[in-house]
Amino acid sequence: MRKFFIAFIAVCLCLLASLPVFADEGEAGKDLMGFFDWLDQDEVDLYGSIEAEFVSEESFDPDEDTGTESTVSYELGLSIEPNPWLGGMFEVSTEYEKPVTVDEAWVTVGNPERFPLYLTVGKMTLPFGLYESAMLSDSLTLELGETTSTAAQLGLEWEALYLKAFGYEAESRQQDEEDELRSFGADAGFLLDEDDFGIQLGASWISDFEDSDRLTEYLNDEEFTLLNRVPGVAAYASVTLGVLTLAVEHVESIKRPRLSGEDGIEERPRQKAWTTELMLDVELEGIVLEVGLMYSESDDALDILPRQRMGGALTVYPFEHLRISVEYLQEKDYQVNHGGTDSNADIVTFQLAMEL
């Protein structure tokens, strides 16, 4: 699949380079030019990126390697709105020597600008939490709470208020369940967005907090079976004044998960995390600058997340389609009496990206 994806991008680039030749080749050229004219419509948005990233990272464990690694990732997406009441989006991505993954693929029926109700069905990131950020790396709240799944979402937007209710296919399984759990959740809030002022307040609830992408990965890696449903909640707020935005967020499970593994059945503490971030978005001499300063903490998430994560990021758009970013983070592990190492780790990331 990775080779197919890279080959697909290469073919697209070759076709773009061949447009002047095809333009003079009769019906074939007309068909090809018609295809690119279709892509150039306001209703169609083709986008993508190629990101080269270099990371210098320390480890909490002195026995683990510390050094620099590099990755290259690719993303390609297509958004279509054939009429004002119907829209859809498809997005795939991959990293070097990794399989292609479908990040999102959904269809929306409705138009909140004309009627408050709408329906979205497909694979999507569920509306649990906000996770607004100018950082390269994820906050601890995002790592703990972000959930991607196949879902059906019913939304309501009226003035500055919004409400989203969704049902989705759970990844975690109870011991006595043969099929995937049928799970659900909701997100409600207030959003006011003016020229130089914006405010957003909201809260989310989900029936299966352990279905988040990070927790599902942890359960699978450790070969744990979840024995109970663990609901979760999130609360978030952001305020924008001119070029500055302050965002705060908290996510947590509201029930202790019971896990079955090789050592028997154990009950884990309720996981939680919170994040505060200050963001700056400004344009100087035609160059766009984005700055993020983040502080994030987790609690009772040993073996899953660090205890603290703090740092800053600077992103520069020197000209169209080019993005240059640098980020510094410091992470702190849990204390020794809580099972951690009480050590710090420094992480420096440089990223060069071309965006379509």
pTM of the predicted model as reported, rounded to 2 decimal places: 0.83
pLDDT at 15: 42
- Residue 113 shares a structural domain with residue 15: no
**By residue range, what is the domain housing residue 70?**
41-355
pLDDT at 68: 84
- Residue 317 shares a structural domain with residue 203: yes
| Tens of pLDDT, residues 15-71 | 444 444 444 455 555 554 554 555 556 678 999 999 999 999 887 766 666 778 889
CA distance 226 to 161: 36
Written as six digits, the tokens of 123 are 């694979």
Count of positions (residues) in the chain? 356
- Contact by Cβ (8 Å): 146, 214: yes
- Residue 95 shares a structural domain with residue 235: yes
CATH value at residue 325: 2.40.160.10
pLDDT at 18: 43
- Residue 25 shares a structural domain with residue 52: no
- Residue 99 shares a structural domain with residue 11: no
pLDDT-derived band of residue 11, with 50, 70 and 90 as boundaries? very low
- Residue 36 shares a structural domain with residue 77: no
26-47 as b/e: b if 16+ CB within 10 A: eeebeebeeeeeeeeeeeeeee
Which is more confident, 267 or 324?
Answer: 324
